[in-house]
Amino acid sequence: MKIAIGADHAGFSLKEKLKKYLQEQGHEVKDFGPSSEQSVDYPDYAHPVANAVEKKEVDLGLLMCGSGNGINMTANKHQGIRSALCWTAEIAKLARQHNDANILTLPARFIEEAEAKKCVDVFLSTPFEGGRHEGRVNKISC
């Protein structure tokens, strides 16, 4: 898979760990930054990741900031994006199965690396169920 990844300064360390993890699994990772823990504004990284997902330049996206909230809210401003803030693998699985989420957002300051990896694994491997969920998902965009 081709995955877009981005963060802010609070998510930088986790981003780097997950990028390496994904690459070791054979995924192609397009890193939209940042390149250090220097303070940055999360919208500057959320928008490019969301654009790449929206334009289908990548299969899915992965974002992280301290709480996950700001970067998630920013990504969800894009019409074709369904970004899900997840902190357990079960939530990540349901985001894919029921909501056809195309960006996984993680709260870097509130999730352990092992759980973040589980979230990523299940997010990438879980298909959208469609069926009764499809009509609901189609009502999300304004």
Q: Report the amino acid identity of residue 131.
A: G
d(CA 76, CA 87): 18
Catalytic one among 27, 47, 98, 133?
98
- CA 28, 120, 123, 44 dihedral sign is negative
d(CA 49, CA 9): 16
Provide the pLDDT confidence category of residue 47 given band limits of 50, 70 and 90. Answer: very high
End-to-end Cα, the chain, rounded Å = 29
d(CA 48, CA 4): 9
What mean pLDDT comes out for the span 137-142? 89
Catalytic one among 65, 78, 86, 119?
65
Q: Which CATH fold would you assign to the domain 2-138?
A: Ribose 5-phosphate Isomerase B; Chain: A, (3.40.1400)
- The structure's pTM equals 0.96
pLDDT at 25 over 90: yes
Q: Does 98 participate in catalysis according to the annotation? A: yes
pLDDT in tens, 95-114: 999 999 999 999 999 999 99
pLDDT at 85 over 90: yes
Q: What is the pLDDT of residue 16?
A: 98
**What residues does each domain of the chain span?**
2-138
Closest CA to 10 of 79, 84, 63, 85: 63
